[in-house]
Amino acid sequence: ETEDERLVYEAALNWINYDLEKRHCQIPELLRTVRLALLPAIFLMENVSTEELINSQPKSKELVDEAIRCKLKILQNDGVVNSPCARPRKTSHALFLLGGQTFMCDKLYLVDQKAKEIIPKADIPSPRKEFSACAIGCKVYITGGRGSENGVSKDVWVYDTVHEEWSKAAPMLIARFGHGSAELKHCLY
């Protein structure tokens, strides 16, 4: 297993280039095995989308264009991306801990069940208490709560567990604290 999809992409290209004349026609089929939307955005745009081998075949170009659309959707937090080019290779169940009613929560923790320990995973960009959290796919959504100045928040923060980074989503219409949230059919309620 690999967590860096660049290795998969480069291995595929190396395999094709080894016998380009015979393997050129297999580029689209091979590209379908690469999770292109999980490549770093800069690598996808500067390396993959400009690769002559890929651009020489319409089917390959379509796959890369789809991956770019998926990547933009991921980066903009624009809903759930179900495309095969964005599906993580390594699927696992993870338990994340966060929260607090009395004290400010400033970290997201991962429970490592094998090592039987709790690992600090990421700082929460805007510490808060009395918020709600819900996971949808590989993302953890934190909504509302009370910030450090005890003001009630409309903020929605999203932690991408695949890329291990936070982003801010569109705010809620009404500031809330002490509320709950749930996922139904890939929608946050």
Tens-digit pLDDT profile for residues 67-80: 999 888 877 767 66
Q: What CA–CA distance (Å, rounded) separates 106 from 128? A: 7
153 and 76 fall within a common domain: no
15 and 50 fall within a common domain: yes
Q: What CA–CA distance (Å, rounded) separates 158 from 89? A: 21
- Look up residue 1 and give its two tokens: 């297993």
Confidence of residue 101 (pLDDT cuts 50, 70, 90): low
Mean pLDDT comparison of 43-52, 120-129, 141-150, highest-scoring range:
43-52
- Number of structural domains (the chain) is 2
By percentage, how much of the chain surpasses pLDDT 70? 89
DSSP secondary structure letters along 26-50: GHHHHHTTS-GGGS-HHHIIIIITT
* Domain ranges, residue 161: 95-188
SS3 call for 121: strand
pLDDT recorded at residue 90: 63
Please state, rounded to an integer, the average pLDDT across all residues of the chain. 85
pLDDT recorded at residue 79: 66
Q: What CATH number has the domain bearing residue 49?
A: 1.25.40.420
Domain boundary among 20, 53, 86: 86
Does the pLDDT at position 147 exceed 90? no
Taking the CA atoms of the chain, what radius of gyration do you get in angstroms?
20
Domain boundary among 69, 86, 103: 86
Least-confidence region, from 109-123, 124-138, 166-180: 109-123
pTM for the structure as a whole: 0.54
Provide the 8-state DSSP code for 71.
H
120 and 53 fall within a common domain: no
pLDDT recorded at residue 138: 82
Distance, C-alpha 122 to centroid of its chain: 14
Confidence of residue 60 (pLDDT cuts 50, 70, 90): very high
Which helix (H) or strand (E) segment holds residue 105: the answer is strand 105-112
117 and 54 fall within a common domain: no
Residues belonging to the chain: 189
Confidence of residue 18 (pLDDT cuts 50, 70, 90): very high
pLDDT recorded at residue 150: 66
Distance, C-alpha 51 to centroid of its chain: 24
80 and 101 fall within a common domain: no
